[in-house]
Chain A
Amino acid sequence: MSKVRVLVGTRKGAFILTSDGKRKRWKVSGPHFTGWEVYHVKGSPADPNRLYASQCSGWFGQVIQRSSDGGKTWEAPGGGITIAPGGMPAGESNKFVYDTTPETGKPLTTHQFYDGKPHPWEFKRVWHLEPSTTDPDTVYAGVEDAALFRSTDGGKSWQELAGLRGHESGPGWHPGAGGMCLHTILLDPSNSQRMYIAISAAGAFRTDDAGKTWKPINRGLKSQYIPDPDAEVGHCVHRIALHRSRPNVLFMQKHWDVMRSDNAGDSWQEVSGNLPTDFGFVIDVHAHEPETIYVVPIKSDSEHFPLDGKLRVYRSQTGGNEWEALTKGLPQRNCFVNVLRDAMAVDSLEQCGVYFGTTGGQVYASADAGDSWAPIVRDLPAVVSVEVQTLP
């Protein structure tokens, strides 16, 4: 029987939740990396036992962790007691250095800061890790200040794909309230040359040459909080999702507005429809129904909790515009948690499972595509990210 493994990143460590295909009884492992913020944990599609985790701390900075046994044991890649020729340590798995070489890095020295003045790029943390679909040792990292890095040696060393930051709009990018983070990385499963990324608050970008050059894909987004609501860049995109069978169709939860693109991001249409509020962070797509999508509406950008204290997932089975509230098993009064941008995922069992975590420490699971919900755990630290692996 198939199994599922839910990878949870929290403000104080990581947790691994496992169950059989019934998804009724769960085993909880953790905390891993106790006391550290874990922004993201994700498994390799090419080798499900290969996991990558981003752990960070205000005291000690960024650490990358890797597991080769499904999370039973972890190592900082290259961080063993090894001395390279010349006597210096080989482990540099947490070294993220912006490319400043003339060939590829160009003289990219500043972006815009909150005060509107140029500000140097400063590495702060890894928000999102996206393993390659084909090679367990290749993994992408989206970081703050916004940039995209790649490792091809299992996380031991990282190189920036500087063409993104090298886009002519780069010096004009500015941070959102949570920092200037590259938080979304989508690899096109049918085209190894194409990927999508999103940055708060620069917007969405696409590459069609494996990361050498990038194109802003924000036409159709309207954001009243920037001077030109239709600007090419500057939009606070919170999350993008796609279905692997149809990678040209994208769904976006923007700061405000739920959006859809049918042409790989070249243009977007709003599909917020009858949502009670179209602010939110997460968005995801059903594993088997490309037109079924999920969001968790949040009251507003100044009140980051569900409307009326009712935690409701909304599902559209029409690719947007027509939404239904899913409430069975979710608290419908006095609930004032948030669901952060990387904190929703789906499994690919025959009856699609949907999962999300809250800043109140609950991880909810639905084994029936959202019709009903139950908490797997209720009292974790604030949940930052949720990923799911479907295992044979």
Chain B
Amino acid sequence: MIRVTLPQHLRTLAHVSSEVELEIKGQVTTRSVLDALEARYPMLRGTIRDHMTQQRRPFLRFFACEQDLSHDPPDTPLPDAVASGAEPFMIIGAIAGG
């Protein structure tokens, strides 16, 4: 079971209150995690990746195991700790000051 944490606004939009747990068949990558997330919660389509280009929205980041995975190719396998569910895959909104 893959654990995914969402920014507060996306938790509200998806009507979830804490971590999301996803079942993923095959290799666990950023792409497969996001595909599974959007399949389970269609209202999140377009909010994390652009509908057409599938590029990460610029003010979002992907963290896991104390690493910034945002710039890794989307088909790179995620760390074993994420694949095993020991650590969450974290979707983070950029901090806005002011």
- Report A's interface with B, CB cutoff 8 A: 34-36, 57-63, 76, 78-83, 87-95, 97
Main secondary structure, interface of A, reads loop
Q: A61-B46, A76-B43, A89-B38 are in contact. Are A95 and B13 (CB under 8 A)?
A: no
Cβ contact of A97, chosen from B12, B48, B52, cutoff 8 A = B52
Task: Tell me which residues across on chain A come within 8 A of B86, comparing CB atoms.
Answer: none
Chain B positions 38-93 with a Cβ under 8 Å from a chain A Cβ: 38-43, 45-48, 50-52, 57, 59-60, 93
When C-beta atoms are compared, the residue in chain B nearest to A60 turns out to be: B47
Decide yes or no: A34 and B43 within 8 Å by CB, A92-B51, A97-B52 being known contacts.
no
Query: How far is B7's CA from A297's CA once the two chains are assembled, in angstroms?
Result: 41
Partner of A58, one of B7, B12, B59: B59
Most buried by A among B41, B45, B60: B45
Q: Complex: how many Å from CA A62 to CA B47?
A: 7
Chain A residues whose CB sits within 8 angstroms of the CB of B46 once the complex forms: 61-62, 92, 94-95
- Report A-chain residues with C-beta under 8 Å of the C-beta of B47: 60-61, 63, 94
Q: State in angstroms the CA–CA spacing of A79 and B38 once bound together.
A: 10
Complex contact A63–B45 (CB within 8 A)? no
Q: Is the CB of A81 within 8 A of B41?
A: yes
Residues in A with CB closer than 8 Å to B50 are: 61
Identity of the chain B residue whose Cβ is nearest the Cβ of A33 in the assembled complex: B12
Chain A residues with CB under 8 Å of B94's CB are 59
Interface residues contributed by chain B, number (CB under 8 Å): 24
Do B51 and A95 have beta carbons less than 8 Å apart?
yes
Given the complex of chains A and B, what is the CA–CA distance between A119 and B12 in angstroms?
Answer: 35
**In whole angstroms, what is the CA distance A87 to B39 when docked?**
7
Task: Report yes or no: A63 in contact with B93, Cβ–Cβ below 8 A.
Answer: no
Q: Is the CB of A63 within 8 A of B39?
A: no
B contact residues around A36 at 8 Å (CB) = 9
Identify B42's interface contact among A57, A60, A61, A91, CB under 8 A: A91
Q: Are B42 and A81 in contact (CB under 8 A)?
A: yes
Q: How far is the CA of A76 from the CA of B9 in the complex (A)?
A: 14
Q: Which of A35, A59, A76, A91 contacts B57 (CB 8 A)?
A: A59
- Write the chain B residue with the least CB distance to A35: B9
Q: List chain B residues, Cβ under 8 A from A63.
A: 13, 43, 47
B13 touches A76 (CB 8 A): yes
Chain A contacts of B7 at CB under 8 A?
59-60
Residue-wise, chain B 16-49 has the 8 Å CB interface mask toward A (1 for contact) of 0000000000000000000000111111011110
Let me know if B45 and A89 touch, CB within 8 A: yes
Q: Which of A58, A79, A90, A97 contacts B51 (CB 8 A)?
A: A97
With a CB–CB cut-off of 8 A, which chain B residues contact A95? 45-46, 51
* Contact between chains at B39 and A89 (CB < 8 Å): yes
B8: A residues at CB distance < 8 A:
35
Q: Give Cα distance in the complex from A63 to B13, angstroms.
A: 9
Supposing A59-B9, A59-B57 touch, asked if A89 and B51 sit within 8 A by C-beta, the answer is no
Q: Evaluate contact between A94 and B41: CB separation under 8 angstroms.
A: no
A89 CA to B42 CA, complexed, in Å: 5
Q: How far is the CA of A88 from the CA of B34 in the complex (A)?
A: 12
A92 surroundings in chain B (CB, below 8 A): 42, 45-46, 51
Q: Which residue of B lies closest to A91 (CB)?
A: B42
Whole-angstrom distance between the Cβ of A324 and the nearest chain B Cβ: 41
Q: Which residues of A contact B40 (CB under 8 A)?
A: 81
CB contact under 8 A between A59 and B60, given known A79-B43, A91-B43, A94-B45? yes
Q: How far is the CA of A128 from the CA of B43 in the complex (A)?
A: 21
Q: What residues of chain B lie closer than 8 Å to A81, measured between beta carbons?
A: 40-42
Of chain A, the residue at the smallest CB distance from B52 is A97
Q: Which residues of A contact B41 (CB under 8 A)?
A: 79, 81, 89
Bound: A95/B50 CA distance, A: 9
Nearest to A82 among chain B residues (CB) is: B42
